[in-house]
């Protein structure tokens, strides 16, 4: 009876949220959680055959989105959190809204992008059938603290029957292959033309063996601590992968997986990772690589991140860089620097986090903004409530002051871009600014 009431209340509140033009992704479950003491109500749901979770510090949204596209294009009825809201209340709202009043989930597949620390709250007694882990890096330090703490909470949510899909290029994530006694699939990226042999970043999250604490020997890095490594004292190493993306080619937007040429929807390193992760997961369910390759290669929709539009006879690429995550910013900067010709960058945010008001900005000093000191970058437009903090960081990165344009009123940005900049435009903003910028620039 309690399950019936919680589902009914959740559906009614969602209806009224939609009626008044609100998303209603969290409020319904918050009432179920608080008023009806429904913390454990998800344990009573009758789940489908496939319950897939995707988690990690970055890349989980794009990975989830591609998994959804592949499975749904091949006849699977998939329900997933397309809005990107990935905490326990958002997951509860989605799950209860897609149940019958008797508690049976109505779709073939439940697919969830999950916050790393909320994973054990979403999946308590009813564990995932499949779990994809993209990476574990320094992320939202005010909330998460040390990434080891995040990893430990994530690991505690894994059931003994959950099949793991691990990014083996991440030494911390790959350690689960050695410590868990359950089916495990590894994926990663072979050496590319952009790989390097000495660290380029000042902040390396995992430089030491997770078992003996000796410093890892790296054959090459892709970014941060992600690469090909081995421990000098133990048998711990990256190993031979089940799914290794090779021959990354930005010009042709392609990689090779199991001798199949696979299209990338974005000419960026992170696209290779979410593509090979989705490929591995979907092949475990579908058991048909030809259909997976055909589906990926014929998708005509944009990537979840990096939408492109036109402005003033120039292109704008909307790169969403995750606040409080230096490696997310690094990959955006790397992508921008790889593009040809003169470039203009828009950088800034209105809120450090959508979840809390700490407004800790120490993470800005982990980001290698020095890489923006590029002669092909014409101007850097700094926007948002924290523009002066970003300006200070850019000045310490020795970015020439005449390249920096402060925007006090976001409504001024269209005219300022037209009169004060050249080249294609790249927005390097967090999620909260993307919609507002898109509306203004389209207008």
Looking at residue 320, its pLDDT comes to 82
**Residue 409: which domain range?**
307-442
Helix H or strand E segment including 167: strand 163-167
> Which CATH number goes with the domain that contains 192?
3.40.1190.10
Residue 302 has pLDDT above 70, yes or no: no
Q: Is residue 113 domain-shared with residue 223, that is, in the same domain?
A: yes
Q: Is residue 185 domain-shared with residue 72, that is, in the same domain?
A: yes
Q: Is residue 224 domain-shared with residue 356, that is, in the same domain?
A: no
Residue 417 has pLDDT above 90, yes or no: yes
Give the whole-angstrom CA distance, residue 272 versus residue 323: 22
Final residue before a domain boundary, out of 298, 323, 358: 298
Beta strand pairing status for 217-223 and 184-189?
unpaired
Mean pLDDT of all residues in 251-278: 95
The answer to whether 237 and 219 are in contact (CB under 8 A) is no
Kindly indicate the confidence band of residue 443, based on its pLDDT and cuts at 50, 70 and 90: low
Q: Is residue 292 domain-shared with residue 335, that is, in the same domain?
A: no
Give the whole-angstrom CA distance, residue 243 versus residue 185: 8
E strands along 297-361, which residues?
307-311, 314-320, 343-348
Looking at residue 308, its pLDDT comes to 86
Final residue before a domain boundary, out of 298, 326, 348: 298
Kindly indicate the confidence band of residue 386, based on its pLDDT and cuts at 50, 70 and 90: very high
Q: By mean pLDDT, which of 110-119, 156-165, 369-378, 429-438 is the weakest?
A: 429-438
Looking at residue 353, its pLDDT comes to 76
Residue 408 has pLDDT above 80, yes or no: yes
* Alpha carbon separation from 418 to 314, 340, 344, 381, 422 (Å, rounded): 10, 20, 11, 12, 8
Q: Mean pLDDT of all residues in the chain?
A: 92
Question: Which two tokens mark 205?
Answer: 């999250």
Handedness of CA 195, 292, 259, 264 (dihedral sign): negative
The answer to whether 13 and 105 are in contact (CB under 8 A) is no
Kindly indicate the confidence band of residue 304, based on its pLDDT and cuts at 50, 70 and 90: low
pTM: 0.89
Mean pLDDT of all residues in 383-410: 95
Give the whole-angstrom CA distance, residue 166 versus residue 122: 20
> Which CATH number goes with the domain that contains 386?
3.90.190.20
Kindly indicate the confidence band of residue 22, based on its pLDDT and cuts at 50, 70 and 90: confident
Looking at residue 146, its pLDDT comes to 84
Instruction: Read off the pLDDT of residues 344-368 as tens digits, 9 standing for 90 and up.
Output: 999 999 888 766 677 889 889 989 8
Q: Is residue 284 domain-shared with residue 194, that is, in the same domain?
A: yes
Q: Is residue 288 domain-shared with residue 316, that is, in the same domain?
A: no
Q: Is residue 287 domain-shared with residue 339, that is, in the same domain?
A: no
DSSP summary character for residue 216? P
Kindly indicate the confidence band of residue 3, based on its pLDDT and cuts at 50, 70 and 90: very high
Instruction: Specify the number of domains making up the chain.
Output: 2
Kindly indicate the confidence band of residue 228, based on its pLDDT and cuts at 50, 70 and 90: very high
Looking at residue 87, its pLDDT comes to 94
Q: Is residue 389 domain-shared with residue 251, that is, in the same domain?
A: no
Q: Is residue 15 domain-shared with residue 141, that is, in the same domain?
A: yes
High-pLDDT (> 90) share of the chain, % = 74
At 335, is the secondary structure helix, strand, or coil? helix
Final residue before a domain boundary, out of 265, 298, 331: 298
Residue 2 has pLDDT above 80, yes or no: yes
Please name the residue that has the structure tokens 């490594």: 229
Q: Is residue 332 domain-shared with residue 291, that is, in the same domain?
A: no
Looking at residue 36, its pLDDT comes to 85
Beta strand pairing status for 424-429 and 226-230?
unpaired
Counting other chains too, the contacts that 303-311 makes at CB distance below 8 Å and 24 or more residues apart are: 303/62, 303/65, 303/265, 303/266, 303/271, 304/61, 304/62, 304/65, 305/61, 305/62, 305/266, 305/270, 306/266, 306/268, 307/438, 309/438, 309/441, 309/442, 311/414, 311/417, 311/425, 311/441
How far, in whole angstroms, is CA 38 from its chain's centroid?
29
Looking at residue 321, its pLDDT comes to 85
Q: Is residue 83 domain-shared with residue 146, that is, in the same domain?
A: yes
Helix H or strand E segment including 94: helix 88-97
At 155, is the secondary structure helix, strand, or coil? helix
The answer to whether 29 and 89 are in contact (CB under 8 A) is yes
Q: Is residue 218 domain-shared with residue 92, that is, in the same domain?
A: yes
């Amino acid at each position: 009876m309690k399950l019936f009431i919680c589902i009914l209340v959740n559906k009614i509140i969602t209806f009224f949220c939609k009626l008044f033009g609100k998303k209603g992704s969290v409020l319904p479950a918050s009432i179920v959680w608080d008023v009806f003491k429904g913390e454990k109500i998800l344990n009573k749901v009758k789940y489908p055959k496939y319950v897939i979770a995707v988690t990690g510090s970055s890349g989980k949204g794009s990975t989830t989105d591609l998994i959804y596209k592949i499975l749904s294009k091949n006849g699977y009825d998939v329900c997933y959190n397309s809005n990107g809201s990935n905490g326990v209340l958002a997951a509860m709202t989605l799950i209860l809204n897609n149940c019958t009043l008797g508690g049976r989930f109505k779709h073939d597949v439940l697919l969830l992008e999950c916050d790393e620390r909320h994973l054990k709250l979403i999946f308590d007694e009813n564990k995932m059938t499949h779990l994809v882990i993209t990476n574990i890096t320094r992320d939202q330090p005010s909330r998460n603290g040390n990434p080891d703490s995040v990893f430990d909470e994530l690991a505690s949510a894994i059931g003994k029957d959950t099949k793991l899909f691990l990014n083996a290029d991440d030494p911390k994530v790959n350690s689960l292959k050695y410590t868990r006694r359950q089916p495990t699939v590894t994926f990663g990226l072979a050496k590319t033309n952009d790989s390097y042999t000495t660290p380029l970043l000042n902040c390396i999250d995992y430089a030491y063996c997770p078992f003996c604490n000796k410093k890892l020997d790296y054959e090459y890095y892709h970014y941060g601590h992600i690469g090909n490594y081995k421990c000098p004292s133990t048998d711990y190493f990256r190993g031979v992968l089940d799914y290794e993306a090779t021959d990354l080619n930005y010009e042709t937007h392609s990689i090779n997986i199991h001798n199949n040429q696979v299209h990338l929807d974005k000419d960026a390193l992170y696209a290779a990772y979410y593509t090979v992760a989705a490929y591995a997961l979907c092949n475990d369910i579908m058991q048909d690589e030809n259909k997976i390759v055909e589906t990926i290669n014929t998708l005509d929709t944009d990537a979840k991140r990096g939408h492109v539009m036109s402005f003033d006879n120039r292109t704008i690429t909307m790169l969403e860089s995750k606040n409080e995550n230096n490696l997310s910013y690094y990959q955006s900067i790397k992508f921008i620097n790889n593009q040809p010709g003169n470039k203009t960058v828009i950088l800034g945010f209105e809120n450090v986090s959508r979840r809390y008001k700490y407004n800790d900005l120490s993470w800005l000093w982990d980001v290698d903004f020095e890489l923006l000191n590029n002669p092909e970058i014409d101007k850097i437009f700094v926007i948002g409530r924290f523009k002066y903090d970003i300006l200070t960081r850019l000045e310490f990165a020795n970015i020439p002051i005449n390249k920096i344009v402060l925007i006090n009123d976001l409504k001024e940005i269209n005219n300022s871009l037209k009169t004060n900049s050249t080249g294609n435009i790249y927005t390097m903003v967090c999620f909260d600014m993307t919609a507002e910028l898109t509306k203004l620039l389209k207008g």
